[in-house]
Structure 1
Amino acid sequence: MSRPRPGKDLGRIAAYRLTGFLGEGGQGVVYVGLSPSGDQVAIKVLHARLSEDPEARRRFFRQVDLARRVAPFCTARVLDMGMQDDRPYIVSEYVRGESLERAVRHDGPRTGGGLERLAVATATALAAIHRAGVVHRDLKPGNVILGPEGPVVIDFGISRALDHAVTQSGAFGTPGYMAPEQLSGEQAGPSADVFSWAATMVFAATGRRAFAGESVAAVLHALLYDPPDLSGVPEPLRSLVTVCLDKNPARRLTADDLVRALTGGATLTTPDLTPPRPTPPGGLTLARPAPTRDLTPPLPAPPGATLPEGAPSDLTPARRVLPGTTPPGGTPSDLTPSRPPGLTPARRVPRRAVLAVGVAAAAAAVAVTMWPRDPDRVRNPDPVRTTEPGLPFGAEIGKPLAGHTNDVRSVALGTLNGIPVTLTGSDDETARLWNLRTSQQLGQPLTGHTKWVRSVTLDQLDGVPIAITASDDDTARVWDLATGRSRILAGHTGDVKSVATGRIGGRHVAVTASADGTARVWDLRTGTQYGAPLTGHEGAVWAVAVGQVGGVPVAVTTGDDQTVRVWDLATRKPLGAPMTEHTGWVRSVAMGTLGGAPVAITGGEDMTVRVWDLTTRKPFGTPLAGHTGWVWSVAISNLGGVPVAVTGSEDRTVRVWDLNTRKPLGTPFTGHTDCVWSVATGLLDGRPIAVSGSRDQTARTWSLAPSR
């Protein structure tokens, strides 16, 4: 949990005044607030909507009431609960500090007495939780807060409460930390928490997971069938962890056993473990996917394939994405951006949002053609497979892009060395490049962020292909895709939710939007802020798009204050009054043209998509209505001369709209098993496509070719 954000009053939940935004998880959004007595509290507003069934609500509140009975040592006490606007909320003690996950990623594994105290405190907390009749069901490094008075376990009992109250797809838990019985659909009791505790201790001691893999399927396969990787875990903790990671829950220790063993009250010998092979859900056999095929040979990075002179020298080495390619062999004409017909030169990643659910918005990124450094690869870029000709409108192209171990929050399209690619950003704190022809990952993930990656975009800087990522760690990063190195853009005092690129005269810039209530402009050549921040939103700024209106470089931003705002990037001044037709938060935006006029499209909590004339700053026609859930993401394109919007929603669908008639084109695209956080549009081998990213941890590619 990060510290509270300074800012204005965010409203109230029942008797609690909200004073800051803390973050989101898979279950909901968390605020810091004040109780009627003036004490600081954490308030989690859950995104699951309970049914009208009184029995379902009774079971939910019963489970949370059990959580309130947990002894307060080593846990964040549950103080209150209730319903507001059909959404349950839970109030708990506010614990200052950072999560174990962030601490290990930032400072390295725990060692010595620090590791021992962590093991004892978390096992003690687990024992107290179990004595109250509660099962945590999602114990992981992110749910252990390193507070000023020692480690504290949070979020206990919430997953169980939700499981009693609503029906959701998939098992509760986090891949890599959940017990095998959670995956196979069996009853998850206290022994499942013990398994998760052991997996958490492995991460704390080593900085890596006990069950690893390059994809979710690989992680789950390892979880079900493979022994844990315990190298680096010191004794005697290793012996305890070994027993607790037994595939058979009956052979694990109890939390009370753990406390006794850790505090010298018991002696343990490690048994001979021969794990049974549990059956995955539905009787499926999980096989390890084939290793990712790297399409570019590992050659030395070409001279000049680094960020330009004059950039700060604090480039942070990261794992190479595409190992350095051959020296430039393209021509200057190859630098011309490629974008769907009808789009303005705006280059953007409309961004997204959260509130009670998670985050998200839109990555309606324009396709960008990168400098082809190997002419032979451009002539024959991929001998493996090309897209199938004649795929109808709405058909899924290739396989889902599966490899992230958490939600895919953002997507962007481009080409690299003649290969059509998608860049994805995820809650697993990485960004990844994918070959759209083969549905395979290219090279290693971009690693360096210490919190969720909210927004991604592709561009080029002085002929060098770059990616820009924005994260909840309050930073954005600029990545040189030839070397895999990054530069940090630091200055925001809150989560960076969105990033877009454009130009102010001859200056190549990025614009970032943040939970600190500002948008900021960055000179990409120097990595420094350019001019004053854009201020005016009341609350978090969730999405930004960049383009031009009448030759003036502008940014369009959206936020939790229900407004859409247009800014002159040269003067940093707003153009006109805020646009206020939405009736809830607005967390996605894209820019384009409609009938020759520059427009922005936005999506929000009111489940509508709205079009705005950026010259008059008035609504352009009627809203697009049809989604049955919040609209997290929007993109804009042109199909055979028809301007269209592509949208993604909490209702798990991607929809395409004719902007001239305001009618949907075809039926919704279905295939994702959870909400669609992000959409982008572009071209694949000359054919129009959309790419969507989802809470189901995948991205999918859809044909936008006209139906025949």
Structure 2
Amino acid sequence: MVIPRVPWRFGPQIVPPLSGPGVSRVACGLVNGRRVALVLEEHRFRIWSMDDHQQLGDPITFPDLGTKWGIAYGMMGESPVAVVVGGGLWAWDLLERRQLSHASTRLGLWDVACTQLNGELVAVTGGYAHDVQVWNVAAGTRLGGPMRGHTSVIRSVACGTMRGRPIAVTAGEDRTVRVWDLGRREQIGQPLRGHDAEVDAVACGVLDGRPIAVSGGRDRTVRIWNLDNPGRPAATLVGHGGRVGAVALAKVSGQLVAVSAGEDVRVWDLRRQLQLGPPLFDGRDIGVVSSLACGTHGGGTLVLAVSSGERVRVWDLDVHRELGFDRPDRYASELPTSWTDPATGDVYDLTRELVDAEGGTWELVDYDGTEPIVCEHPLDPRATFGIADAHAEYDFGNVVKPKGDLCRRPSHRLDDEDDWLDGDDDL
């Protein structure tokens, strides 16, 4: 018998995961009035409609097959644009699905963020050259020279505003967070120091009228920086058991929260500097979350998390908020009596006893909104599995009726009313 994996518990998810090989980053935006997720893979990216959970068209593939590491969304006039970085910078018009510009770089670019500067869409990048570059997206050309200060690889870039001026905030392996005035093309103040290890993630926004930055690092901490008072030590949020590789900001019921991720996803009340509710886990993945993006639909707030390099999970933060701090024994109010695997068409009769090929017995313990969750006897809530993965490893042939492959996944209809947020400029 295969030695079972021991994944963590999961949180309530609202649609099946967005899957693809080698997924590394996710960003959110609007294309032709539809909320979309831009899911970056090694040599291409996919556009997923979050309204009906369908991929929009074929993946956009790059002529240069080198690995891409960062993706950002922006608006150029009325046209939605994706900017991707790796061994250079590429910009794509998402409506016409055509490449706008491309520029090569001597050293690789790790991350990118978009903002408006003097009425033009610009991209701000950081990477292995240790400097910050500002690019005209339409032309694919640099605006001025590099902004220097970091002494090691820049891992994360965010854009926002400070006193009405566009800024960029960067984080790097030199353990610092730095703030840049994009109009004057200079660093604002001294580096923000406090992390005890490399800083892998940063986001920026406005809290109670004050510009802030939120960073996450390999020292397992999340830190909140008051950009109006950079000399003040950052507030430190502790809870992650490993490195924090991604952070994002979102509004939940009008309240600005930070979302941070590593081996799990955690939500933080920035005003009170407290964790909100239990961590968001996924019992079917082993690995770390490498990218986060936040958006809204139906009056609620979503967080999208890239996990294990193959899936983008989608959680509803308003549902998470209603759970309170204690993780419930079961998330679903009712358990399904049957389930159809959207990937294979296999139909599971969940009224029958779950017995695997070795005679082991299992129990249906929960339903996360997309897939039944099972656990082997004796029950251990730390070792839960999505039923499809458990069937693939242990064989529930007594309850599964194969239906063959499906050409498409079923539609999961979401509401059409609210805005889909992406980037720090909207906070």
TM-score scaled by length of structure 1: 0.43
The whole-number CA distance in structure 1 between the counterparts of 2:231 and 2:224 is 9
Deviations 1:461-511 (A, max 9, x none): 12112111112xx21210011222214442532111111111222232111
1:665-685 superposed Cα distances (whole Å, 9 cap, x missing partner): 111111143210011111123
Counterpart for residue 396 of structure 2: none
Q: What's the secondary structure of 1:398's corresponding residue?
A: coil
Letter in 1 for 2:59: P
Show the counterpart of 2:113.
Answer: 500
Following the alignment from structure 2 to structure 1, what is the Cα–Cα distance between the partners of residues 261 and 137?
30
Matches within 5 A, 1:594-609: 594-609=207-222
Amino acid across the alignment from 1:435: S
Q: Is the 8 A contact 1:492 1:514 kept in 2?
A: no
Q: Distance in 2 between matches of 1:664 and 1:614?
A: 22
Equivalent-residue separation in structure 1 for 2:190 and 2:291 (angstroms): 28
Corresponding residue of 1:401 = 18
Q: Distance in 2 between matches of 1:513 and 1:168?
A: 37
Deviation at 1:439, TM superposition (A): 2.8
Aligned pair partner of 2:54 in 440, 448, 471:
440
Residue 438 of structure 1, CA deviation: 3.3
Pick closer, same or farther for the CA change 1:528–1:620 going to 2, 3 Å: same
Is the aligned partner of 1:707 residue 2:318? no
Partner of 1:517: 130
Higher helix share: 1
User: Could you tell me how far 1:394 is from its partner in structure 2?
Assistant: 4.9
Give, in angstroms, the shift of residue 169 of structure 1. 8.0
Q: Is the 8 A contact 2:304 2:313 kept in 1?
A: yes
Q: Provide the rounded CA distance (Å) in 1 between the counterparts of 2:170 and 2:5.
A: 33
Cα distance in 1, alignment partners of residues 105 and 6 from structure 2? 36
CA distance in 2, matches of 1:659, 1:437: 29
Q: How many Å apart are 1:523 and its aligned residue?
A: 1.3
Q: Which residue of 1 aligns with 2:78?
A: 463
Residue 527 of structure 1 deviates from its aligned partner by: 2.2
Question: Residues of 1 paired with 2:95 and 2:201: CA distance?
Answer: 30
SS across alignment from 1:680: strand
Mapping 1:325-404, distance limit 5 Å:
394-402=11-19, 404=20
Looking at structure 2, the residues matched to 647 and 454 of structure 1 have their Cα atoms a distance apart, in angstroms, of 19
Query: Quick one: which of 265, 275, 287 aligns to 1:664?
Result: 275
Contact 1:611 1:619 in 2 (8 A): no
- Which amino acid in the other structure matches residue 166 of structure 2? P
* Counterpart Cα distance in 1 of 2:25 and 2:290: 7
1:561 to partner: Cα distance: 0.6
One-letter amino acid matched to 1:437: D
What is the aligned counterpart of 1:526 among 139, 160, 184? 139
Partner of 1:646: 259
2:266 is aligned, of 634, 655, 659, to 655
1:525 Cα deviation after fit: 3.0
Deviation at 1:647, TM superposition (A): 0.8
Q: Is 1:422 the counterpart of 2:37 in the alignment? A: yes
Q: CA RMSD in A?
A: 2.1
Instruction: Measure how far apart 1:621 and its partner are.
Output: 5.4
- Could you tell me which amino acid in structure 1 is paired with residue 286 of structure 2? T
SS at match of 1:444: coil
* 2:278 aligned counterpart, secondary structure: coil
Compute the displacement of 1:552 (Å): 2.1
Shift of 1:700: 0.8
- Amino acid paired to 2:170: T
Q: How far does the alpha carbon of each residue in 1:278-297 deviate from its partner, in whole angstroms, 9 at most, with x for none? A: xxxxxxxxxxxxxxxxxxxx
Query: Aligned pair 1:586/2:180, yes or no?
Result: no
- Between the aligned partners of 2:140 and 2:5, the Cα distance in structure 1 is 44
Matched pairs, number: 313
2:184 is matched with 571
Contact 2:200 2:217 in 1 (8 A): yes
- How far apart in 1 are the matches of 2:309 and 2:145? 39
CA distance in 1, matches of 2:6, 2:153: 30
Tell me the residue number matched to 1:348.
none
Aligned mates of 1:514, 1:489 — CA distance in 2: 17
Q: Give the SS at the match of 1:665.
A: strand
Same amino acid, percent of matched pairs: 35
CA distance in 1, matches of 2:117, 2:56: 32
Question: Deviating runs (4+, > 3 A) in structure 1?
Answer: 167-170, 618-621
SS at match of 1:610: strand
Q: In 1, are the aligned partners of 2:32 and 2:95 still within 8 Å (CA)?
A: no
> Greater CA radius of gyration, 1 or 2?
1
CA distance in 1, matches of 2:188, 2:5: 44
Q: Are 1:453 and 2:64 matched, yes or no?
A: no
Answer yes or no: is 1:485 the counterpart of 2:101: no
Q: Aligned partners of 1:482, 1:561: CA distance in 2, in Å?
A: 39
SS at match of 2:45: strand
SS in 2 for 1:587: strand
Given that residues 111 and 155 in structure 2 are in contact (C-alpha distance below 8 angstroms), is that contact kept between their aligned partners in structure 1?
A: yes
> How big is each residue's C-alpha offset from its partner over 1:74-103, in whole Å with a ceiling of 9 and x where there is no partner?
xxxxxxxxxxxxxxxxxxxxxxxxxxxxxx
Q: Does structure 1 retain, via aligned residues, the 8 Å contact 2:226–2:234?
A: no
Query: Are the structure 2 counterparts of residues 477 and 466 from structure 1 closer, same or farther at C-alpha, using a change threshold of 3 Å?
Result: same
Greater CA drift, 451-460 or 569-578: 451-460
- Aligned partners of 2:46 and 2:59 also within 8 Å: yes
Alignment of 1:266-345 (within 5 A): none
Please give the residue correspondences for 1:15-54 in structure 2 after superposition, counting only pairs within 5 Å.
Answer: none
Instruction: Structure 1 unaligned segments of length 5 or more: list them.
Output: 1-166, 171-392
Alignment of 1:202-221 (within 5 A): none
3-state SS of paired residue (2:91):
strand
- Residues in 1 aligned to 2:104 and 2:170: alpha-carbon distance in whole angstroms: 18
In structure 2, relative to structure 1, the CA distance for the partners of 1:697 and 1:169 (3 Å cut) is farther
One-letter amino acid of the structure 1 residue matched with residue 35 of structure 2 = P
**What residue identity is the alignment partner of 1:468?**
V
Paired amino acid for 2:167: V
Q: Is the 8 A contact 1:394 1:704 kept in 2?
A: no
Extract unaligned runs of 5+ from structure 2.
324-427
Relative to the length of structure 2, the TM-score reads 0.70
What does the per-residue CA deviation read over 1:244-295, in whole Å, with 9 as the maximum and x for residues that have no partner?
xxxxxxxxxxxxxxxxxxxxxxxxxxxxxxxxxxxxxxxxxxxxxxxxxxxx
1:678 matched to 2:291: yes
- In 2, distance between residues paired with 1:415 and 1:480? 12
